[in-house]
Amino acid sequence: MTDGAPQAPVLRPALAPLERLPLALGLVALTVLARLLLAALVPLVPDEAYYALWSTRLSAGYFDHPPMIAWFIRPGTMLLGETPLGVRLVPVLSALPATFFIWRAARHLVADPRAGAIAALVFNLTLLGFFGLAVATPDAPLILFSAAMLYAAARLLDDERPFWWLAVGVATGLALLSKYSAALAAAGFGIAVLLVPAWRRRLLSPWPWAALLAALVVFSPNLIWNALNGWATIMKQGGRTTEAWQFQPQYLLEFLAAQIGLATPLVFLFAVLGLLPGYRKGWRANGAMRLVLALVLVPTAYFLFHALRSRVEGNWPGFLYPALAVATAAALTLVPADAGNRLSRLRRATIPVALGFLAFAFIYALVVPVTLLGSRDPILRLTCGWHGLGEAIDTIRRETGARYILTYDYQLNAELAWLLPDVPVVQANESQRYDFLGHDADALVGPGIVVTRDPIEQELAGLFGSAERIAVVPRRFRGVTIADYYIVRIDRPTATPLPQ
């Protein structure tokens, strides 16, 4: 160095994916291919079978959730048949536009031009970002449209044309059609409008209100469906917030531990750092940090409150991960790549550690479940042995002349209804879950069988008048018994409502 000008920092190999666009793109593409491989080879979990049933009867609403996941599944099954890959095809491919939105949002929100590649890569290497877009659940479209909402809001900071206000509204409506927790993201954006001075002034113009109207118009098919069906979905999901509760703070620690694991520990650390005042320089100065803070902290406040009384399922905050990936990128771009301090060493380890977590989880889900943990293995319990169980139960049904199958477990019911599409399979204690299948009451008259995880034939005799246990069928995988199922024969003489 002869002129006193500062030299560019030397990039270390461990940081290459963070700093070099081709490597970042390559790793992102690899995660999409890995998702496709999982989608093709891993059997459907019960929730996926349930949503796949929805896709056979498209509607503007269902008992549990709004309809977007059914709309996502249907094109894949039309193209590839009712296979695991067919069910998961569109959710997996939605990783591509979701990644694009996160990439572009980071470019508009974070000061460093490298942030787009970093945020996109970080998102795809988190366990929740990867698996959330590898399985066919409502989280897949929710994550996609939350990323779209983040991108539209990021553009709105630099370009207040009406188009971007309307884009935020449309993305919000699509997210609400995916899962009602999108309302928390909408609330976060509403707080951001109050925090960003330029947006606050725009409240006197029609465009913020046009965005709200656009969201309601897009969401209106589900609102109309609910109005015509006794507000079924809204009542069910709203019950989570209105039910009586007791103070149980152990769920708070569980929630935090789950998110540290699902984000991977170092990504979680830098996401938190990126939202702290000390990292303000990493953000553009026009309200970018305030926007992401509002989008993250408003839903997080609700989850923390909920965790004081009940379990927060690990996937619930999945729609926050696009914004968290951007926050991670903001922090990572501020930490020097070649310094010798502890934070720089952690920065260098962020991508390798996340990649290691993801590689282990991917191999475990694909190659395993091994049988070392037996029925305690969650992957084994959710994915294995269903086809054999379905065949065994259908054989018993045909041999006994049973016309229908009743269950008392929506996951078991979903798997059997998916595997036996020509047989009426109904969850007796929540039959409204399966009203969309349109089973005629006359189809549930006469001899039938009840399949349960517990020996409850005495209770069934009290409900149905007579009940005879005729078999116990195990669900097995590689010699491991995952669960035993009790098969009880009943006879319903009239088409009266199913006893609860």
Average confidence (pLDDT) per 10 residues, the chain, 500 residues:
39 46 85 96 94 96 95 97 97 97 96 93 97 97 98 94 96 98 97 95 95 98 95 81 72 95 97 95 92 97 92 94 97 81 90 95 78 71 91 95 92 94 90 82 85 89 86 89 92 72
* Residue that terminates a domain, selected from 338, 367, 396: 367
Task: Transcribe 302-352 into DSSP letters.
Answer: HHHHHHTTS---TTGGGGGHHHHHHHHHHHHHHS-SS--SHHHHHHHHHHH
Whole-angstrom Cα distance, residue 52 to residue 476?
Answer: 23
Could you tell me if 351 and 387 lie in one domain? no
CB 485 within 8 A of CB 452: yes
**Residue 458 within a domain:** yes
What's the total number of domains in the chain? 2
Question: Residue 372 falls within a domain, yes or no?
Answer: no
389 occurs within a structural domain: yes
Residues 348, 436 within the same domain:
no
HSE, CB side, 13 Å, CA atoms: give it for residue 297. 13
- Which 8-state DSSP code applies to residue 131? H
Same domain flag for 321 and 466? no
Residues 110 and 234 in one domain: yes
Q: Which residue among 367, 393, 417 closes a domain? A: 367
Domain of residue 276, residue span: 13-367
Say if 7 falls within a structural domain. Answer: no
| One domain for residues 18 and 88 | yes
Say which residue the tokens 């970042």 belong to: 24
| 312, 332, 367 - which closes a domain | 367
Q: Is residue 4 part of a domain?
A: no
Determine, yes or no, domain membership for 6. no
Same domain? 227 vs 304: yes
Widest CA span in the chain: 97
Residues 331 and 406 in one domain: no
Together in a domain, 333 and 219: yes
Output b/e per residue, 378-412; b: 16+ Cβ within 10 A: ebbbbbbbbeebbebbbebbeeeebbbbbbbbbbb
Task: Give yes or no: residues 452 and 425 share one domain.
Answer: yes
H/E segment holding residue 473: strand 468-477
387 and 363 within one domain: no
Residue 3 is predicted with a pLDDT of 42
pLDDT at 371: 58
Write the secondary structure of 13-52 as one string of H (helix), E (strand) and C (coil): HHHHHHHCHHHHHHHHHHHHHHHHHHHHHCCCCHHHHHHH
Residue 207 is classified by DSSP as: H
Residues 468, 402 share a domain = yes
Q: Is residue 498 part of a domain?
A: no
Q: Would 361 be classed as within a structural domain?
A: yes
Residues 403 and 351 in one domain: no
User: What does DSSP assign to residue 136?
Assistant: -
Going by C-alpha positions, the residue among 278, 332, 318 that lies closest to residue 122 is 332
Type of residue numbered 437: L
Query: Considering the entire predicted model, what is its pTM?
Result: 0.91
